[in-house]
Amino acid sequence: PFVGSEHRRVSIVQAVRKDLAEFGVRTIITRPPAEQDYTMVLYGDLGTQTFAGVAPYIDCGNLWANDTCFAGAFQGSNIGSTIILQEAAHTWGLEHVNAPFDNLHPFVAQATPIFTDVCNKIVSNTDLVEVGGQCNLVHEKFCDAGYQNSHQELLYLFGPAVPDTSPPSLTITSPPDGSVHVLPATIPLLGEVTDDLSPQYYDITIT
């Protein structure tokens, strides 16, 4: 399991969301309803390995729903999110590319890579061996054969970002409704926030 703090876990999730902000993909940490297609990334200790993560296959065109992939539990939010995004992207049909600033670079070469809107050369491994690519039926919608534009492919697969129109709800749990207190008294003010896109950071103002 992931052994970092709750703050670190939320920071990693927020870093993943940042890179997916332009696409119709939502990042949560709870299992979605059964009728919802989703990709699961298991983020934890993979043991002694020569790789940072693993996906079952390159799912060209994201034809198979509900794939599961694995990412090693790095504590840093930027490295952690990059590995999560790379393994998830493999299950969506994206391949490794020779582009240090792209999330599909086969090793983390920059602190904050993104899904770049550029046609990058497809490679097979960390030695950056150039190959023709497995998913050219999709890649060639935006690039020449053997190249990949990860940004355009994600827009093609998932569309643009979907706005969050469901507000969070706040339930006051302390003090209980109708309770009576004799001054002077210290009354703990506690509440629970429910949100379909949990976890989130909230700014709360009490007047």
Question: What is the rounded CA–CA span in Å between residue 108 and residue 130?
Answer: 18
**For residue range 17-76, what is the model confidence (pLDDT) as tens digits?**
999 999 999 999 888 888 989 999 999 888 777 788 899 999 999 998 889 999 987 766
Angle between helices 77-91 and 6-19 (to 10 degrees): 50
Type and span of the H or E element at 170: strand 169-174
Read off the pLDDT of residues 122-172 as tens digits, 9 standing for 90 and up: 999 889 999 999 999 999 999 999 999 999 999 999 999 989 898 999 999
The candidate with the shortest Cα–Cα distance to 49, out of 72, 30, 68, is: 72
pTM: 0.85
In contact, 189 and 176? CB cutoff 8 Å: no
